[in-house]
Structure 1
Amino acid sequence: MLHKQLAMCALLACGFGIGTSADATVYRATFGEIDDVDDYDASDGFDYGAITGGEVIFTISDNLQLESNGILQDGSDTFYSGITFNHVTFTKADGDSVIALNSDVELELWDRLPGENGGWNYITFESDINSEGFTLELRTNSTHANHGNIFNLGTPNPNSLIDGKLLTFADEAERDSIYHTPYFQFYGTGLMLPNGDIEMLLKSLQIVPEPSSMVLIGLGGLALIRRKRA
């Protein structure tokens, strides 16, 4: 019986780790509060108005490739490649809609220094082809308690992620202590994606455990089961 349980744990761990790598970090961002929504084609079978929430799974390589760095509004604007949006799942009353992506994403780290419109720090992930795509943005403004702490500010040199990772949060209260209204936007023109757009605030941002961690969790659970039976 134990061998069967161990085999099941191994299978689950392998399945969970498909598409992941020891040289990357996988994140799950969930969203729920709708900030804005438009459905431009009611006949295409995809109802933006029916969306109530969802999640996006994305992967950040531990070896991001610097694409460019320049000065924009007196702050460094730095771009990296090495990120993938694995998939997006929308929750709707009539069932979930899963959109397979495996789409290359560009990361922008922009330290906009105080000026006419105030200072902002932006972490923006964007996949955009022919005005269709996905944007996930984490940011703070100059009045936010955590402003200047969400990534390493390199101005005028390249900005970089802190230890190559994002600051994560489990709920809205923790979210608001770290970021200023982080959001996910999905938009299409009908060419490849449904014609419309929706913008939703993030509810949580967590690291997905790597397969080896899942195995340890599974083994720990089996140990508890055996101890209880004993």
Structure 2
Amino acid sequence: MKLLKFSPLLLALIASANAAVYRSDFNTLTSTPSVEIAGQDGWSSTSSTTFLSHTVAWNNGTGTTTAIAIGGTLDLSDQTTVGLNHSYGEELGRTTTKFDFSFTDSTFVVGDPDPDANYVALRDTFAYSVYSGAANIFSVVFTPLEVDPTVNPTAEWSMSYYVNGALGGSFFLEVEELGTYSLDLAFSKHGYQTAVDLVLNDGTNLFARNQTVDLDPVLTITSFGFDWTSTEAGGGDNEMLIDNLSVVPEPSSALLAGLAGLAFVSSRRRRA
């Protein structure tokens, strides 16, 4: 029996396709607010403040599962953005992200028992971002329509996108507190620009949005993660819950061509 010999190029392509893959349902993490995500499973934090991210037990409508949560502490010294990041290593134009998410609402209002009786926990902004080096090159941003729960007790967040830190536009979609959503975000090459395809699933309907942004699709995503921007010093008590996260590269045309070539060579050897 003859052994197949793989070309160095094909082996490199196969290795590359598997090098930048992250998938997790977080069920292997302990479901308790005392467990920090930063420092586990390749995650790191952009802040030294504790309990900015932790595991939670989340009833997503089909049962209770373990999710991660970012936000929800009341100990930030000023209005700021903190992130929970994970390293990656793939071209922007070949990367697809999927995750389930929900928002808890700010419920702390004037009159609640707290050392500061006049404090109102305002709603905060959250985002999913991808980075190339230190540069935040693309973000899906969730911004509260009304930050003060005493003005409007029903919370909704609008969805927009930022390119290189600047507002690129709106996806014209809104999500509500306590709802369960799934988000698919796919980047692909569009000439020298990047095509962005976003699909939001609320369990009943699918909402698709397509954009083209001025980003070189061959830029390398070095990390991805979730950001929390507090509305004021202290931040709100709302959180973004995330589960079933996958960040993976789509098969490149080069890899597919290599696999097709491997099949052709294998077929010729069998005939021989």
Determine which structure has more spread, i.e. the larger CA radius of gyration: 2
TM (norm. structure 1) is 0.33
TM (norm. structure 2) is 0.29
Q: Greater helix share, 1 or 2? A: 1
Greater RCO (CA < 8 Å, at least 6 residues apart): 2
